[in-house]
């Protein structure tokens, strides 16, 4: 007797009727917006070589082998395949490259984690070109996108440079920094203070509104930290000028365990969903600089269904 012929694998589900319409409506709205902003659509393969993905734990990827015995994965991320495109077929195109996509990713979550393994994403990448201008453009578009998706939303900004610089100043090895990173991310002050002292231990407390910049100025001593802080202030002011003052959260402890992020990080939240529905940041992959963000279309569609 077949045991699994009438159910879907954990982390996946069928969509019916109104659910399909909600997802397609969101995808269409996002792709139209991105194309109006000058982005060109690309689609990358469902299957990629395992070697294409840095920063992803192997246990989080679905793996298989091809006919030659080479290790493959089902795409867990869209950014790195798009970087591959930029470095190969699009290497002679003028920079910045402004690309958009609408495709699913697949991540193997722990059993009973309550998270989807199949996630439909729509997003953009800006590759090469002027860093400051591209950061401003990406953050502005992310904020506009979030406003179109959710009336009751919040936009969170930070910069992983703060953690990286302070960890280096504290003399932490890469492995030691990775051990304490979760304490910073979750604002676990008791555990963090057992491991480190000084400004690094204070980093998760630098969280809130515009007042965070004044608090950080008292703690940040080096020019590198001050420069990153001033740049983040400029990004904040740009968002404020869009009329989002009461929707912006500044989090100087915002960081990311994937090693390719190098600067600005941001997340968008919608009421009714406890995790970001939009996330992005500046990165460097294979020496290629870029910035981008992705929208969790699956989550937004689910929220629409609850409304």
pLDDT digits (tens, 9 = 90+) for 291-305: 999 999 999 999 987
Cα–Cα distances in Å, from 75 out to 88, 114, 253?
Answer: 18, 20, 29
The whole-angstrom separation of Cα 13 and Cα 7 is 9
Give phi and psi for 266, each to the nearest 5.
-155, 150
Beta-sheet pairing, 40-41 with 97-106: parallel
User: Does the pLDDT at position 1 exceed 80?
Assistant: no
Asked if residues 225 and 202 have their Cβ atoms less than 8 Å apart, the reply is no
Sheet hosting strand 118-127, strand order edge to edge: 40-41, 97-106, 118-127, 288-296, 278-285, 261-270, 153-159, 248-251, 207-208
Residue 76, pLDDT > 80, answer yes
Q: Is 114 left (phi over 0), alpha (psi -120 to 50) or beta?
A: left
154: pLDDT strictly greater than 70 = yes
| CA dist., res. 305 & res. 307, Å (int) | 6
Which pTM value belongs to this model?
Answer: 0.95
**What number does CATH give the domain 14-151+259-307?**
3.30.930.10
Measure the CA–CA gap between 239 and 250, rounded to whole angstroms: 11
* Contacting residues for 57 by C-beta, under 8 A, at least 6 apart: none
Q: Does residue 258 register a pLDDT over 70?
A: no
Alpha-carbon gap, residue 220 to 213, rounded angstroms: 10
Structure confidence at residue 287 (pLDDT): 93
Give the burial string for 182-194 (b: 16+ CB within 10 Å, else e). ebbbeeeeeebee
Q: How confident is the model at residue 206 (pLDDT cuts 50, 70, 90)?
A: very high
Q: How many residues does the chain have?
A: 307
Tens of pLDDT, residues 162-204: 999 999 999 999 889 999 999 999 999 899 999 999 999 999 9
Tokens found for residue 149: 């998706």
Residues 207-233 have pLDDT tens digits of 999 999 999 999 999 999 999 999 999
- Domain range summary for the chain, segments of one domain joined by +: 14-151+259-307
For residue 275, give every residue at least 6 positions away whose Cβ sits within 8 Å of its Cβ, in sequence order, or none.
Answer: 269, 296, 299
Q: Which residue has the tokens 């294979």?
A: 286
Please count the CA atoms within 13 angstroms of the CA of 130 that sit on its side-chain side: 4
Range with the largest mean pLDDT of 13-17, 50-54, 258-262, 265-269: 265-269
């Amino acid at each position: 007797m077949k045991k699994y012929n009438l159910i879907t694998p954990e982390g996946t589900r069928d969509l019916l009727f109104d659910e399909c319409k909600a997802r397609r409506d969101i995808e269409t709205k996002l792709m139209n917006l991105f194309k109006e902003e000058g982005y060109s659509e690309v689609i990358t393969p469902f299957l990629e070589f395992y070697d294409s993905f840095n920063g992803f734990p192997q246990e989080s990827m679905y793996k298989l082998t091809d006919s030659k015995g080479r290790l493959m994965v089902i795409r867990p991320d869209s950014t790195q395949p798009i970087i591959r495109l930029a470095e190969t077929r699009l290497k002679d195109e003028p920079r910045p490259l402004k690309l958009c996509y609408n495709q699913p990713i697949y991540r193997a979550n722990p059993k009973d984690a309550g998270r989807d393994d199949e996630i439909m994403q729509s997003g953009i990448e800006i590759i090469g070109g002027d860093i400051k201008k591209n950061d401003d453009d990406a953050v502005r578009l992310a904020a506009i996108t979030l406003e179109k998706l959710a009336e009751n939303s919040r936009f969170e900004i930070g910069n992983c440079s703060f953690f990286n610089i302070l960890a280096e100043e504290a003399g932490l090895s890469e492995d030691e920094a990775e051990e304490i990173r979760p304490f910073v991310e979750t604002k676990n002050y008791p555990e963090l203070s057992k491991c480190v002292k000084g400004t690094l231990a204070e980093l998760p407390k630098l969280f809130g509104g515009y007042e965070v910049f004044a608090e950080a100025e008292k703690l940040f001593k080096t020019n590198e930290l001050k420069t990153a802080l001033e740049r983040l202030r400029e990004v904040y002011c740009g968002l404020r000028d869009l009329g989002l003052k009461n929707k912006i959260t500044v989090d100087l402890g915002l960081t990311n365990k994937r090693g390719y992020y190098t600067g600005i990080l941001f997340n968008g939240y919608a009421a009714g969903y406890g995790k970001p529905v939009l996330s992005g940041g500046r990165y460097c992959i294979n020496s290629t600089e870029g910035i981008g963000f992705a929208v969790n279309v699956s989550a937004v569609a689910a929220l629409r269904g609850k409304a």
